[in-house]
Amino acid sequence: MRGAVSAGERLSAPAVPNVPAETDSAVVAWMREQGWVVAPARFEMESDLGFHVWQEQGRSPGTSHALWVSEPMVRHLSARQLLDVLEREEMAQEIRISLRIRIEERGTEYRISVVPRRSGEWPRQE
């Protein structure tokens, strides 16, 4: 019977792509140079594209700085190449302004956009 899972079969979740250790260390250090202490990358799906996220620790969700880098960029660029892109695209300034920024490859260029906030993440105004 197609579609049924026998007792011996397991359903497995899709594998989360790993960030190369050198890339993770380089981005963590780059973020620290900008004044943000971040955890190692986590993986988030948004629409049909996955992103590796380095997010500032110790701040409330509505005020933490975060860099979202598309999975294909992490897979195709070396740590040095990725840092060069972050510098060339002035990502530190973008993050300072908008808190959460994502970057993805678009042909030979890069698309930078603000990460939409989830409900309740904006600080409440009294």
80 falls within a domain:
yes
Structure tokens at 29: 């250090």
Domain count, the chain: 1
Residue-wise pLDDT tens digits, 14-57:
678 999 999 999 999 999 999 999 999 999 998 789 999 999 99
38 in Cβ contact with 56 (< 8 Å): yes
- Cross-strand partners of 44: 51
pLDDT at 58: 85
37 in a structural domain: yes
Instruction: Note whether residue 120 is domain-resident.
Output: no
Whole-prediction pTM: 0.81
How do 109-114 and 100-106 pair as beta strands?
antiparallel
Q: Confidence band (pLDDT; 50, 70, 90) for 119?
A: low
Contacts of 100 (CB under 8 A, 6+ apart): 65, 66, 68, 114, 115, 117
**Which tens digit of pLDDT belongs to each residue from 63-101?**
899 999 999 999 999 999 999 999 999 999 999 999 999
Domain extent at residue 51: 21-114
pLDDT of residue 1: 45
- Tell me the H-state helices in 35-119: 71-76, 79-88, 91-98
Determine, yes or no, domain membership for 5.
no
